[in-house]
């Protein structure tokens, strides 16, 4: 088959044309399928990027909340808040009690 026959598309009009049309149709359908797969992959990459950003933001928010909880649980802050209600800061440190079996 010469290049001139390919350019004139004689392979689509001769007696073997139905077999060639099936091949051309299969190539076109495979091309459409590959294009669809690439679009789906792009969408998944965009979704993964968005979710990664969300995870980082939520992680930093969790760290901030943990530090706030730790600050609010500090003994000195608790005593300052309870000072108005009559509680006083102890003068000596607590004693550790150890029990031997």
What pLDDT does 1 receive?
65
Q: Say whether pLDDT at 35 is over 70.
A: yes
Q: By mean pLDDT, which of 17-31, 37-51, 81-95 is the weakest? A: 81-95
DSSP characters for 9-75?
A: TGGGTSTTHHHHHHHHHHHHHHHHHHHHHHHHHHHHHHHHHHHHHHHHHHHHHHHHHHHHHHHHH-H
Q: Would you say 11 and 17 are in contact if contact means Cβ atoms under 8 Å apart?
A: yes
Q: Is residue 89, in this structure, part of any structural domain at all?
A: no
Note down the domain range covering 57. Answer: 3-83
Question: What's the pLDDT band for 19 if we cut at 50, 70, 90?
Answer: confident
Q: Is residue 97, in this structure, part of any structural domain at all?
A: no
Distance of CA 18 to the CA centre of its chain: 48
Q: What is the pTM of this model?
A: 0.52
- The total of structural domains in the chain comes to 1
Q: Is residue 13, in this structure, part of any structural domain at all?
A: yes
Q: Is residue 100, in this structure, part of any structural domain at all?
A: no
Q: Is residue 48, in this structure, part of any structural domain at all?
A: yes
Q: Is residue 8, in this structure, part of any structural domain at all?
A: yes
Q: Say whether pLDDT at 30 is over 80.
A: yes
């Amino acid at each position: 088959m010469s290049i001139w026959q390919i350019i004139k598309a004689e392979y689509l009009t001769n007696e073997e044309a139905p077999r060639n049309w099936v091949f051309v149709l299969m190539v076109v359908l495979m091309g459409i399928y590959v294009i669809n797969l690439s679009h789906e992959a792009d969408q998944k990459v965009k979704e993964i990027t968005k979710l990664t950003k969300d995870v980082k933001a939520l992680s930093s928010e969790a760290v901030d909340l943990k530090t706030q909880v730790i600050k609010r649980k500090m003994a000195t802050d608790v005593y300052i808040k309870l000072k108005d209600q009559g509680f006083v800061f102890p003068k000596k440190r607590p004693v550790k009690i150890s029990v031997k079996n």
